[in-house]
Structure 1
Amino acid sequence: MGTLDLAAIVADVGREMQSHRGEGHVADYIPALARVDARRFGLAVVTCGGETFETGDAWVPFSIQSISKVFTLTLALERLGEDLWARVGREPSGSRFNSIVQLEAEHGVPRNPFINAGAIVTTDALMAGRGRDEVIAEIRDTLRRLADNDTIDLDKEVAESEAATGFRNYALANFMRGFDNLRSPVEEVLQTYFHQCAMRITCRQLARAGLFLANGGVDPISGERVVSAEHARRICAIMMTCGHYDASGDFAFKVGLPGKSGVGGGILTIAPGKAAIAVWSPGLNEVGNSQVGTLALERLVAKTGWSVF
């Protein structure tokens, strides 16, 4: 660790991204996200030794979107353990993140917890008889605790924007309810899901929140065991194989680390035993992952040698 000059590496990556700022297209199908400045770029690295290195807009809050699925999966695994896997698979989907075709062929059991259908089932499992306000508060408070920052909160405008345009998610949820793979009322589950995706977080906070996954389930700074070592390993495995939807193989090829993207332009990436990395650039590529963010991670890993391969 000591041989790497992370401050210089992160600064270099920031400089290299200057000419790429604005590439890709913002997620304009969610009205509240369509207005975000595509030229924004932030990167933060928090090491297992507790050091933070950052560049660009690492302090600007953005919409967490699907990266929240890492944290709801963490909570659901701790609450349900292995029983969760009876309701959601662990295989890459190879389909769009909101595909309904595969769901019908596989009798309402989603391929993995990171496609929309799987995340909705995971949220439902987390609810298990509890109301949405309680579960939304638990997700928010978990992020605050892990990031060691009480300013993380949800963006009501984004949540309302998603609910108003989330017709496919309503279709997926009702479909799974028809297969008896959704236990709580559809509206309650979806409102919880839309709100968890509408949390606002910065690169700095996101990297800090994910750090426990780089250290076998233990937050190396606070010493808190967040999840078992086995669950941490499994979450990272699913991030590697499923974290970028149908471009997960390409991300593994280019970056070589477990990661989870969101259509807000963020990506949380884990370098096991070393650091958690969060990057944000709102312009997305054709499969819905941050274009400049992916490039920045590719450069960072090339300079650090942190690829797991």
Structure 2
Amino acid sequence: MDLAELLEEIAREVRPYFGKGRVASYIPALRRVPATKFGMAVSMVDGREFTVGDVDEKFSIQSISKLLTLMLAMSIRGDEVWRRVGKEPSGTPFNSLVQLEYEKGVPRNPFINAGALVVLDCVMARTGKETTQVILDYARVLSRDFSVDYNAKVAASELRAAHRNAAIANLLRCHKTIRHDPGDLLSAYCHQCSLEMSCSDLARTFLPLANAGVSPILEEAVLTDRQARRINALMMTCGMYDSVGSFAFRVGLPAKSGVGGGIVAVVPRQCCIAVWSPELDRSGNSLVGTAALELFVRMTKMSIL
């Protein structure tokens, strides 16, 4: 199977899907991204890489950053994370306050906003005022791209509009689920979401999840095999907002999405796939990206289901 030709074919077959979704509008920098952008990168555990389209153009990874900080938190804090965050699908919107209050300040999983804030709080307990730099360095090292950076305008824009996330952070502090100042935590969170990376960056960054925790690029373990399997399990059940069941039905891979239009998917023991197309479906996932991943699985038979 020639993956290079296969990706070219996928790029042709997804063209009819353009125009059927909507670019995220609540962040000005996202609203201005051309809707027809498309890139797809596949990093194999044996070191080979295959790409098509706008794979080297950086975009705002948004909630995909939750996966990055979860990996970092597990690598430096271990199982402490799971004493403060659950492992179950939420069944409610990713920014729900009602469920968090009802369940006494313990977030259902690390990929809803409340859970991501708690994970970040775990990282801050070890890194303190250097948290944003540590996260940035982690992304740069895993991707082997030292031009990766935050978008200061996006971070500032998100912070100005972060009223619900501020409420979530204060509710977490009220229940003593987080230990740091909610304002400091929220600032770090908005910076985390503003990270700009390319499809090629993302496919390399999360390749350890396909390789038992070992980065083939760094030639060293960044997670244990057990940690990698647990993260993959959480992506499978919680990684795709309110359409996690539909995505599992269509694609059948552990994945994490962001409203910047990116999706990262993992085929254990084989590869990591990153796809980017800004138009979103009703659940906030890339409409074209989901279609591309469905085609990839159908053509390669690389599904865990």
TM-score, structure 1 as length reference: 0.97
CA distance in 1, matches of 2:80, 2:99: 22
2:64 aligned with 1:67, yes or no? yes
* Equivalent position to 2:144, from 140, 148, 169: 148
2:211 aligned with 1:215, yes or no? yes
CA distance in 2, matches of 1:305, 1:143: 30
Partner of 1:193: 189
* Equivalent position to 1:86, from 80, 83, 87: 83
Q: What is the CA distance between 1:104 and its match in structure 2?
A: 0.8
Give the letter for the 1:278 counterpart.
Answer: A
CA distance in 2, matches of 1:30, 1:17: 26
Partner of 1:271: 267
Give the letter for the 1:141 counterpart.
Answer: D
1:45-64 paired onto structure 2 within 5 Å: 45-64=42-61
Give the letter for the 1:116 counterpart.
Answer: N
Is the 2:60–2:197 Cα contact (8 Å) retained in structure 1? yes
- Partner SS state of residue 50, structure 2: strand
Give the letter for the 1:98 counterpart.
Answer: N
Is the 1:93–1:245 Cα contact (8 Å) retained in structure 2? no
Unmatched segments (≥5 aa) in structure 2: none
Give the letter for the 1:212 counterpart.
Answer: P
Give the letter for the 1:59 counterpart.
Answer: D
2:42 aligned with 1:42, yes or no? no
Tell me how many residue pairs correspond in the alignment. Answer: 305
Give the letter for the 2:264 counterpart.
Answer: L
Give the letter for the 1:127 counterpart.
Answer: M
- Partner SS state of residue 244, structure 2: helix
Q: What is the CA distance between 1:31 and its match in structure 2?
A: 2.2
Partner of 1:30: 27
CA distance in 2, matches of 1:68, 1:187: 19
1:238-277 paired onto structure 2 within 5 Å: 238-277=234-273
CA distance in 2, matches of 1:308, 1:211: 16
Poorly superposed stretches of 4+, deviation over 4 Å? none
Q: What is the CA distance between 1:221 and its match in structure 2?
A: 3.1
Give the letter for the 1:32 counterpart.
Answer: A
- Partner SS state of residue 137, structure 1: helix
TM-score, structure 2 as length reference: 0.98
Higher mean Cα deviation, 28-37 or 232-241?
28-37
* Equivalent position to 1:231, from 221, 227, 236: 227
Partner of 2:285: 289
Aligned-residue RMSD, C-alpha = 1.0
CA distance in 2, matches of 1:13, 1:88: 38
Q: What is the CA distance between 1:24 and its match in structure 2?
A: 0.8
Q: Deviations over 1:133-171 (max 9, x none)?
A: x11111111111111110100100110010011111001
